[in-house]
Amino acid sequence: MHHHEHQIANGNEKKTLIVIVFTLIAMVVEIAYGYLTNSMALLADGYHMGTHVLALGLTFVAYLLIRSFAHSPLFPNGPHKIGVLAAYTSSLFLGLTGIWILIESIERVFNPLSIQFNEAILIAVIGLVVNAGCILIMGDGHSHAHGNKKSCCQKEDYNFKAAYYHILADALTSILAIIALYVGKYFNVIYLDSFVGFLGGILILKWAVGLLKQTICELVDMKK
């Protein structure tokens, strides 16, 4: 790994650890209040954030392994594909979460629960603030990783890209959750909460499929 690439990787590793801490705290709060307020949108956001904690954990461990095996004879071409494999695994978890959210959202349409809108909105806003902060923290590393357009098989920090996509997708689902809760509160459109949960699930699946395609391409050295 070149010196500049090594510096970027170390910077991304530190940013990932910081984001893990903030995301873990937000996840616990959102899930707890999601159950207390019976909000599917908030629960979807919280559980989705839980997959981010796992994905970010994989990202961080991958960085540790890449650094440990940087000069190992076990990896004659370099250990960068450890990060790609972590990103691939992360995208699988993201896809499974999307499917779970879709199933839960459909179930809530037929079995709606009363929602405590004020509490749900408050926690959703907090979650969005945390996500926005994490995006700002990760922004520089993301721009380094994508400074130039690359072909499918050129080396790219898919490990960091996977972590960034998890956080970005969560921020978008948080926005959708807030919109649904406000509309439900002031216009009494209760089913919108389930509808937004459904949209969030579709969005998560879209991110997952895109990342799966990219990482598979890299892992098997496939040209576009």
pLDDT tens column, 11-59: 788 888 899 998 888 888 878 888 887 877 677 777 767 777 888 898 8
Q: With respect to residue 93, please indicate whether it lies within any of the assigned structural domains.
A: yes
Q: Which two tokens stand for residue 207?
A: 């991110």
Q: With respect to residue 146, please indicate whether it lies within any of the assigned structural domains.
A: yes
pLDDT in tens, 61-75: 999 998 888 888 888
Q: With respect to residue 224, please indicate whether it lies within any of the assigned structural domains.
A: no
Confidence of residue 154 (pLDDT cuts 50, 70, 90): very low
State yes or no: pLDDT of 195 exceeds 80. yes
User: In degrees, to the nearest 5, what angle opens at C-alpha 202 toward C-alphas 196 and 207?
Assistant: 125
- Judge whether 45 and 127 are in contact, CB under 8 Å: yes
- Judge whether 190 and 115 are in contact, CB under 8 Å: yes
- CATH code, 11: 1.20.1510.10
Dist CA 127 CA 98 (whole Å): 18
Burial of 147 (0-12, 13-18, 19+ CB in 10 A): exposed
State yes or no: pLDDT of 4 exceeds 70. no
pLDDT at 146: 45
- Residue whose entry in the numeric block shows the structure tokens 């509309």: 183
> Domain span at residue 35?
3-219
Give the helix ranges, DSSP H, for the chain: 3-37, 40-68, 80-110, 117-145, 158-187, 191-219
Count of domains for the chain: 1
pTM, two decimals, is 0.73
Closest CA to 41 of 120, 135, 133, 129: 120
